[in-house]
Homo-oligomer: A and B are copies of this chain.
Amino acid sequence: MGRQRRLCQICKQKGQRRESVVYMKEHRLALCEEHFKEWFERRVRETIKEFKMFKPSERVLVAVSGGKDSQTLWFVLNKLGYDADGFFIDLGIGDYSEESKQKVLELGKILGKEPKIVKLEQELGAPLPVVQNLVMGSACSVCGRIKRYHFNKVARELGYRVVATGHNLDDEASSLLANVVNWNVKYLARKYPVLPEEKGFPRKVKPLVKLTEEQIRLYADLSGIPYTDRSCPMGDTANLHFYKGIMEQIENHARGTKYRFYFEYLKKIFPIFNSLKEELVKGELRRCTVCGEPSPSEVCFVCKLRERIKEKSPS
């Protein structure tokens, strides 16, 4: 992607001259603002249809974090006419969470849709920085589990059968690479832009998987979508950034490899691993005896956490 002075190729076809706002090398395509936005939205619509993510009649719960990807997703789904609501978990990570929430509320105003907001402190009895001190594992993995729990729970409680997240092509290709390098087969067997509804879990979909970070940022900026660029102060994203850097080098070495690596995986390799899933992903899900959510153990991770927080609190 670059912003050299080129003419928009769509305008050119129509006999018009308009300067492009973007040149996408991997597609050899220069587009003006209007046609870039059109192209972007078409690509999201095509992705939703190609992977049978959801029908226009289905309500979609968008997991928004206040960052560019999920904010753009919420915005573009509404622009495409889908019935998409925002859902934000206030993790209670100081200024960071505050700023993120403000961006989500701002976008809600633009879309005329009130976002659902869950405050972790109310749910669990403590914000993430406190929770993190009580458990083993990295902050990101603990936070991920807590967020997934609440996506599932809130979606079920409010009657959404679909939860959408803002994962983009860079996220997916680089995490695929990291998981391939470590042959994390369990993960590979579930790496797909749609995970079907099952055992009390809503369908999970990633409508932005055909778009790069740069394309999403440009679309957000051109569309005036509010978002925060701050990264989580608790997050240890060194590994993710490392593999994004490696993927960029590979992309620069042979243009188009990033896309091919991910989508050829989906086409040729995923079906192989997925067919072995039963062997690979052992252990069945039951219901948590406390909250009733799906869980591999008798009491789920979040209920155990809640109990622990109660024990530790001085009340």
Contacts and interface: CB of A to CB of B under 8 A. Distances in A.
A111 interface: no
Interface stretch (A21-29, A42-50, A260-268): A260-268
A261 B182 contact: yes
**Which residue, A249, A257, A269, A276, has most C-beta atoms of chain B within 10 A?**
A269
Nearest to A173: B181
Contacts of A291: none
A183 B265 contact: yes
A253 B276 CA distance: 31
A272 B189 CA distance: 13
Contact of A272 (B180, B265, B276): B276
Contacts of A272: 272-273, 276
B182 A257 contact: yes
A10 interface: no
Given A272-B272, A272-B276, A276-B272, A182 B260 contact: yes
A268 B185 contact: yes
Contacts of A185: 268-269
A250 interface: yes
A242 to B, nearest CB: 5
Contacts of A246: 246, 249-250
A180 B246 CA distance: 14
Q: Which 9 A-B pairs have the closest CB atoms?
A: A183-B264, A181-B261, A242-B253, A183-B268, A180-B180, A183-B269, A181-B250, A246-B246, A181-B257
14 contacts: A181-B250, A182-B257, A182-B260, A182-B261, A182-B264, A183-B260, A183-B261, A183-B264, A183-B265, A183-B268, A185-B269, A242-B253, A246-B250, A272-B273
